[in-house]
Structure 1
Amino acid sequence: MKAAPGPLAALLDSGEDFVMADLWTLTLSGGSVVRWSGADVALSANGNVYALGPAIERGSVSEKRGLEVATLEVRISANAGDLINGVPLIPFITRHGLDGAVVRLDRGFGTDWASPLSGTILRFAGKVTAIGEISGSTAKLTVSSWAILLNVNMPPNLYQAGCLHAVYDAGCGLSAAAFAVSGAVSGASTALAFGSGLSVAAGDYAQGRVVFTSGANNGVARAIKSNTASAFTLIQPLPAVPVVGDGFTVYPGCDRTMGRCATRFNNLGRFKGTPFVPPPETSL
């Protein structure tokens, strides 16, 4: 059973008429947050404002015991005025802007549409795991519950040459902020590559990450494929082509080798690879 906050419980117990609506919170891969109201008006709840967004249809919410992954099918219908960072929503989705986004669905209850909601109840939370059919002004998404994180190979610890940690994760122990470098876009750009005024070591940011901090891609993160001293090439295209002056922050990547761990990050004490274990076909 889910507990309702005090004002909401009082409203439901009063026997009075009430209104209710879905409240959507989307956190993009770079940390930017978008909030949409499922009603015909913008709503306020829990100190947040849920803007009037696109029309969103969803499947029923199922709650399951055990480790089975629950999914929620979502169909978004957008018009020209539905934007994320100034980019029309459907093109933003087409260009992978919602890939890996964290989705939270709350159900809000209130006395009327003009007043702040009395309270909310969490209905579903997870991340976007699939982008389905995109046609015209509509897009279909699949959101999977957090149990999806358990769909990993077991056992988690293997004997392999490369480090088992991902750079900046809890096992690695490094702070991404300590290695962050901020800059601004300069020169001609495409959705897959952009120049900057930075001067960095070529290749140092391969397998790293860029997070845009302003412009049409604000809050969007992408993996870096390669870099020169001042330009970066991405693995996936951005939702919008960066323009001169757009801010970004880049983080160097790690190929999980012992050499990279020692020379670039000085973090050999946390290296969790076994490069000196001979392969099984080696005979002594």
Structure 2
Amino acid sequence: MSWLDEPVTTLALCWRLERRDGVGIGLTAHDRDLVIDGNIYRASPGMVPSAIKRGDGADPSSMDVSGALTSAAIRERDLLAGRWDGARVAIFAVDWTDTGRRIALGEGTIGAVETADGNFTAELKGVAAVLDAPVCEETSPECRAELGDRRCRVAMAGRRRFARVTAAEDETVTLDVAEPVANGWGGGRLRWFGGANSGLEDAIVASSGAMVTLRTVPRFVPAPGDRVEVIEGCDKSLATCAARFGNAVNFRGEPYLPGIDLLTRYPGA
């Protein structure tokens, strides 16, 4: 590319970030905002990437990017709450005098995030990092599928309900609707659509009537009236799969396979 050989460089690094909840922002290391493909990339001169190394091998690639928490789009509370976990990131270099000239440098997802003294460091995992995942599953007495996914195949229509928070204390949240069956929301998920936790999601450990117990305390204090979506769950046992969902044919576990926990599974046998 001839523009890279010019005596005066006009190179600027850019980042395009897209969160899992659909929020997307653009940042650039240039000293002023750039408009690229109709999107505004805000100037963030403090954004500094680690060395970018590209190759044609199969080794998983990753890099780090650090910067100051000065942008209203990237705040410390959002990083710590996990809003940016798993966000998609595309990094490229562009000619700031002609944004149509650019070079793709890499893409991936945000992994571990650290904050300290008003600065943050985020690990960017390349697409080849998926090669670190296990090739096959381990056996387990419990089902390894998630309720409603393509392996489970239970229809989720009618198993999701919108509700509003009426009270909250630590991990316990009280809603204005009741569960469909006893502990029907246990093992499910609660998605926040309003209030300070909007866009976040929490796992439900157990439910009783209109009360749900979350796995962890919500990142921010819920307020009465906050809108949520509560999704029915499953305890992943064969008995529940057969009796409650009539779905034993799709059960993805091995409850009768002897294992190293055989003696503890049946005490006194």
Q: If the length of structure 1 is used for normalisation, what is the TM-score?
A: 0.73
Which residue matches 1:22? 14
Alpha-carbon offset, residue 42 of structure 1: 4.5
* Partner amino acid, structure 2, of 1:143: L
Q: Distance in 1 between the 2:164 and 2:238 partners?
A: 32
Q: Do structure 1's residue 241 and structure 2's residue 221 form an aligned pair?
A: yes
Shift in Å at residue 271 of structure 1?
1.3
Matched, 1:187 2:167: yes
| Total equivalences in the alignment | 259
State the 4+ residue runs in structure 1 displaced beyond 6 angstroms.
none
Question: Which residue of structure 2 aligns with residue 127 of structure 1?
Answer: 109
Choose which of 51, 57, 66 in structure 2 pairs with 1:75: 66
In structure 2, the residue matched to 1:253 is 233
Measure how far apart 1:101 and its partner are: 2.0
**Residue ranges of structure 2 left out of the alignment (5+ in a row):** 264-269
Q: Distance in 1 between matches of 2:196 and 2:223?
A: 9
Contact 1:203 1:227 in 2 (8 A): yes
Q: Describe the superposition over 1:85-104 as per-residue Cα deviations: whole angstroms up to 9, x where unpaired.
A: xxxx1122223333x32231
User: Which residue of structure 1 aligns with residue 266 of structure 2?
Assistant: none
Q: Does residue 144 of structure 1 match 2:129?
A: no
Alignment match, 2:47: 56
Cross-structure match for 2:89: 104
- Aligned to 1:149, what secondary structure does the other structure show? helix
Larger C-alpha radius of gyration, 1 or 2? 2
Aligned partners of 2:102, 2:244: CA distance in 1, in Å? 47
**Which residue is equivalent to 1:274?**
254
User: Deviation string for 1:143-170 (max 9, x for gaps)?
Assistant: 22233333234432x4432223233333
TM-score (norm 2): 0.77
Q: How far apart are the structure 1 equivalents of 2:31 and 2:173?
A: 39
- Aligned AA (2:205): K
Cα shift readout 1:167-193 (whole Å, capped 9, x = no counterpart): 333322345565221122222455x44
SS in 2 for 1:118: strand
Cα contact 1:64–1:70 (8 A) shared by 2:
no
Distance 2:102 2:247 in 1: 45
Structure 1 segment 8-47 matched on structure 2, within 5 A: 20-28=12-20, 31-38=21-28, 39-47=30-38
Match of 1:91 in 2: 77
CA distance in 2, matches of 1:220, 1:267: 30
1:73 Cα shift? 0.9
- Is the contact made by 2:93 and 2:105 (CA closer than 8 Å) also made in structure 1? no
Residue aligning to 1:209 = 189
CA RMSD after TM alignment = 3.4
Structure 1 contact 92–240 (Cα < 8 Å) conserved: no
Q: Give the distance between the partners of 2:157 and 2:42, measured in 1 at CA.
A: 31
Report the identity percentage. Answer: 19
**Cα shift at 1:25:** 0.9
Alpha-carbon distance, 1:17 to partner: 7.8
- Higher RCO, Cα 8 Å, sep 6+: 1
* Matched residue SS, 2:129: helix
Inter-CA distance 56–244: structure 2 relative to 1 (3 Å threshold):
farther
Alignment partners' CA distance in 2, 1:74 and 1:169: 34
Deviation digits for residues 244-272 of structure 1 (CA, Å, limit 9, x no counterpart): 33222122222321122233433322212
